[in-house]
Structure 1
Amino acid sequence: MKIWHVGGFPSPEIVNGLNNTVWLVAKEQALMGHKVSMIVTKINKDALYFSEQSGLNLIHISTTKWSYEPKLLKSLLSSQAPQIVHMHGVFSPEQATLSFNLFRRGIPYVSTPHSMTPQFLRRDWFKKSLYSLFIEKPRLSASSAITGVTPSETETINKFISNYQGILRSVPNPIEISKLDKYTWTKNIKAKRLVYMGRFDVLHKGIDILVEIARFLPEFEFHLYGNEYIKTMQWLEKIKLNIPGNVYLHNPIFGDEKLKVLSEATLYIQASRWEAFGVSIAEAMYIGLPCAISNTHNIAETFSQYNLGCLFTLNPKEAACKLSELLNNQSEQLLYWSQNARNFAKLNFHPQTVASEYLNLYQEIIH
Structure 2
Amino acid sequence: MKVLHIINSFKGGGAEKLILQLHEMSLKNGIDSHALSLMSPSNECLANTYALNFNNPYRIQVLFKLYDFLSAPEWENLDIIHVHLFPSQLYTPIISSILNLKAYLVTTEHSTHNSRRDIWYGRLIDKFSYNYYRKIICISLGASESLLRSQPQLSEKIVVIYNGIEIKRYSLSSISYPKGKTLVILSVGRLVIPKNHETAIRALSKIYTHNFEYWIVGSGVLEPHLKKLVNELNLEYKVKFLGFREDIPELLNQADIFLTTSYWEGFGIAVVEAMAASLPVVVSNVSGLREVVLEDFTEIPKTGFLIDPKSEDDIAICLNKLLVDARLRMEMGKNAQFRSLKFDIQKTFDQHRQLYQSLLENKQ
TM-score by length of 1: 0.81
Partners of 1:345 and 1:198 in 2: how far apart?
19
Partner in structure 1 of residue 253 of structure 2: 263
Counting only pairs closer than 5 Å after superposition, residues 89-104 of structure 1 correspond to structure 2 as: 89-90=85-86, 92=87, 94-103=88-97, 104=100
Give the SS at the match of 2:154. Answer: coil
1:30 to partner: Cα distance? 1.4
Partners of 1:266 and 1:280 in 2: how far apart?
15
Matched, 1:22 2:24: no
1:200 to partner: Cα distance? 2.2
Give the SS at the match of 1:299. Answer: helix
1:26 to partner: Cα distance? 0.9
C-alpha distance after superposition, 1:304-362 (max 9, x if no partner): 33533211123111332233234324x44433322222223234132x22111101111
- Give the 3 Å change call, closer, same or farther, for CA 58–193 of structure 1 in structure 2: closer
**Which residue type is aligned with residue 131 of structure 1?**
G
Matched, 1:6 2:6: yes
Partner in structure 1 of residue 105 of structure 2: 109
**Which residue type is aligned with residue 175 of structure 1?**
I
5+ residue gaps, structure 2, are 55-59
1:216 to partner: Cα distance? 0.7
**RMSD, aligned α-carbons:** 3.0
C-alpha distance after superposition, 1:256-310 (max 9, x if no partner): 4x43332122211111112223333221111111111121362223323353321
**Which residue type is aligned with residue 161 of structure 1?**
Q
1:59 to partner: Cα distance? 4.6
Give the SS at the match of 2:72. Answer: helix
**Which residue type is aligned with residue 193 of structure 1?**
V
Partner in structure 1 of residue 352 of structure 2: 358
Give the SS at the match of 2:205. Answer: helix
Is contact 2:185–2:259 with CA below 8 Å preserved after alignment? yes
Partner in structure 1 of residue 31 of structure 2: 34
- Give the 3 Å change call, closer, same or farther, for CA 317–41 of structure 1 in structure 2: closer
Partner in structure 1 of residue 145 of structure 2: 155
Is contact 2:187–2:216 with CA below 8 Å preserved after alignment? yes
Partner in structure 2 of residue 69 of structure 1: 65
Matched, 1:194 2:191: no
Partners of 1:355 and 1:31 in 2: how far apart?
11
Is contact 1:151–1:170 with CA below 8 Å preserved after alignment? yes
1:253 to partner: Cα distance? 5.5
1:36 to partner: Cα distance? 0.9
Q: Which moved more, 1:335-344 or 1:310-319?
A: 335-344
Partner in structure 1 of residue 175 of structure 2: 183
Counting only pairs closer than 5 Å after superposition, residues 193-212 of structure 1 correspond to structure 2 as: 193-201=184-192, 203-212=193-202
Partner in structure 1 of residue 57 of structure 2: none
Counting only pairs closer than 5 Å after superposition, residues 71-150 of structure 1 correspond to structure 2 as: 72-73=68-69, 75-76=71-72, 80-90=76-86, 92=87, 94-103=88-97, 104-117=100-113, 120-121=114-115, 125-126=118-119, 129-133=120-124, 135-150=125-140
Is contact 1:152–1:298 with CA below 8 Å preserved after alignment? yes
5+ residue gaps, structure 1, are 52-56
TM-score by length of 2: 0.82
1:102 to partner: Cα distance? 3.4
**Which residue type is aligned with residue 97 of structure 1?**
Y
- Give the 3 Å change call, closer, same or farther, for CA 362–197 of structure 1 in structure 2: same
Partner in structure 1 of residue 209 of structure 2: 219
1:248 to partner: Cα distance? 1.1
Is contact 2:67–2:95 with CA below 8 Å preserved after alignment? no
C-alpha distance after superposition, 1:52-83 (max 9, x if no partner): xxxxx235557753515365245337753311
Give the SS at the match of 2:36. Answer: strand
